[in-house]
Structure 1
Amino acid sequence: MNSRYLSRPSTTIVNKSSDIDVLFQMQDDFKQAMRTSKDGFIYIHNKMKDHKSFQNHSNSKQLPISHQLALILEQLGSNGNSGLVGKVAQNFHVDQDTVVLITRKVIKAINSFKEEYIEWPNSCRRFEMLQVIQKEGFDGTTFSLCQKPAWQREIYFDCKKVYSINAQVL
């Protein structure tokens, strides 16, 4: 079989005792590392474990689904250079192509549940929301930038002495 690679894939360490197993034993550090509670992690895991994107049709072993979920939570919860594919690959002892593949699989599985969790508000609910916004307004948030803007950087410097963009998200 002829395959093409930009670089030869490294051997994925599937059976290695993983940091995630250790994290499950550490009460305080799990939430910080995974950006969710253990119950939240287990709920998401159980919800997506039977999704068709995790069915393995090759001779290669795949990482356990819990590791795949941990990997994407690490990537999505990181900012700046720590969220780069290469950095996540190093942290999880996998190839960069594996990170990209896992990211696609997990996002596909999570997106398949959107109808169950996301709904457009009906006209009554929209009216209620409008009343609250007109009465109280709503807070904005800031999104930190990983580097200084090249142009008019003083505009992006906030009261916390961080370069950021202000936003109001509905």
Structure 2
Amino acid sequence: MPRQTDCQQATQGLLQVYLTLLATESQALMDPGSDSDSDLDSQSSDDEIEQISTSSVILNSILSLHAYHYISDWSPIPKSNANLQLLLNDWKINHPDIFQSYVRVTPACFDLLTATLGDDPVFHNQSNIPQMPVAEQLAIALFCFGHYGNAANTMKTALWAGIGYGTVCLVTSWVMRAVCGEQFHQAALHWPDEATIECAKLWVEENSCPAWWDGWAMVDGTLVSLHARPGFYGNTWYDCKSNYSMNVQVCYSVLPLYC
């Protein structure tokens, strides 16, 4: 079930109170009472007036609740992108091991991804306000992909990178759209030509089992552990190592390594 915001929860509670008061008022108008005593009639009228007044207050409260974007007073949170700049401009050059622990790729791989994804239209717009540099967006997205649990919390990621909470989701979405785009697929994923395949077959015959001479590609896989049991078809993600995980398989040519 989707999580309700504080405004939605407050609105739902006020609506229940409002509907209850309306039902009470309607019942009072339809059944004024069998007692003809003037004092009781006067008291009943006063109660009806009070109930109508209360329902009006509840209705006005609902209208006021939706007149503002936030229920509580908004105050700015001091943030700085010093950590992100330190990662990209210092650690990537002088401490690649620390850099890799944050983004889970080597500096060379990171630069290659930045150059390959940089031309994607998702990172360019016609607005007068330019987007964040592609390197910064990629670093934020890779930081989220490489962590789980509290470490990947949107709030903590935003405070670490010095950006807004919503910007974390927006940047991650842009990077994923670029990675899933046809332009990136054509640049990063392609099959070798016939000469490349023949050279790979020759290496397999000379350095491996001769019966495998016709093989020119390799397939490898790894299990990527999930932080928690998925909500859909959860049991199907349970693996032989007693974890919830997904299997990633990669097929690649052996030629670039040996020819």
TM-score relative to the length of structure 1:
0.63
Counterpart amino acid of residue 114 in structure 1: H
Match of 2:113 in 1: 44
Higher RCO (C-alpha 8 Å, min separation 6): 1
Instruction: Name the structure 2 match of 1:164.
Output: 243
1:79 to 144, 148, 157: 148
Structure 1's consecutive aligned runs of 4 or more residues displaced over 3 angstroms after TM superposition are: 5-8, 10-17, 115-120, 138-149, 166-170
> Does the Cα contact within 8 Å between 1:54 and 1:105 map onto a contact in 2?
yes
Letter in structure 2 aligned against 1:66: A
**Number of residue pairs the alignment of both structures matches:** 149
| Structure 2 CA distance for aligned equivalents of residues 166 and 98 of structure 1 | 28
Unaligned runs of 5+ in 2: 1-67, 192-211, 213-218, 231-237, 250-259
Match of 2:86 in 1: 19
Name the structure 2 match of 1:114.
185
| Partner Cα separation in structure 2 for residue 62 and residue 46 of structure 1 | 16
Identify which of 57, 66, 82 aligns with 2:126.
57
Q: What pairs up with 1:137-148 in 2 under 5 angstroms?
A: 144=225, 146=227
Q: How far apart are the structure 2 equivalents of 1:102 and 1:164?
A: 30
What is the CA–CA distance in structure 2 between the aligned matches of 1:166 and 1:51, rounded to whole Å? 31
Q: Distance in 2 between matches of 1:167 and 1:104?
A: 21
Of residues 87, 91, 95 in structure 1, which corresponds to 2:160? 91
1:47 aligned partner, one-letter code: T
Aligned to 1:125: none
What's the RMSD between the two structures over aligned residues? Answer: 4.2
Whole-Å separation in 2 of the counterparts to 1:34 and 1:57: 30
Gaps of 5+ in 1: 121-131, 133-137, 150-155
1:82 Cα deviation (Å)? 1.3
Residue 30 of structure 1 is matched in structure 2 by: 99
Q: Report the TM-score, using the length of structure 2 for normalisation.
A: 0.44
In structure 2, relative to structure 1, the CA distance for the partners of 1:114 and 1:82 (3 Å cut) is: same
SS in 1 for 2:244: strand
